[in-house]
Amino acid sequence: MSSRCPTYSTPILHRRGGSDKPIARRSSGKFTKTERLVLELSGNGDKAEAIASRLGRSVKTIEYNQHQIRQKLGASSQVEVQRLIRERISESVATALDTVESDIDRMIEELADVRQRLWQARRVLNQSVADAYESALELKESIDPLAEPVHGDA
């Protein structure tokens, strides 16, 4: 029986100073706040030096953040990162537009239904007013049969 050496599928980074507490395991795919800032500024075409200056960090730190971003996106270069960003933005915009269009279509249908119900209510109200007017005339005639006719009654 052969003995096997243990293998680890996820590398563990350790803190400086010999601490055994792991800093991080394999990339989770989620971006840190700094990585999101770097990603946004990189997407605008800013270079590492300009990003470092703007964020008050060292160029090496920004380059490390860019490296982490490339790993999480599965990109081999900053150019590919920018291409992926543009693609994802395009996809997000297209999805948002589809959602907005279907929301607008739904609202238009709801408004048409409301409009139809309002017209029905208006017809009912007009009929009720006409019926009330007829009832008022009949009541007046029953109270005072000798009274002058009201508005066009002969």
The proportion of the chain whose per-residue pLDDT surpasses 90, expressed as a percent, equals 46
Boundaries of domain holding 32: 28-74
How many structural domains compose the chain? 2
Residue 114 within a domain: yes
Candidates 75, 35, 31, 79; CA nearest to 57 is: 35
Say whether both 36 and 64 belong to one domain: yes
Is 90 exceeded by the pLDDT of residue 114?
Answer: yes
Q: Provide the pLDDT for residue 54.
A: 92
Each residue of 19-38: pLDDT tens digit?
A: 444 333 344 568 899 999 99
Residue 21 within a domain: no
Average pLDDT over residues 53-78: 92
Residue 154 within a domain: no
Name the residue with tokens 């408004």.
Answer: 111
pTM of this structure: 0.46
* CATH code for the domain of 33: 1.10.10.10
pLDDT band at 154 (very low <50, low <70, confident <90, very high): low
pLDDT band at 109 (very low <50, low <70, confident <90, very high): very high
- What are the respective helix, strand and coil percentages of the chain, to the nearest 5? 65, 5, 30
Say whether both 33 and 70 belong to one domain: yes
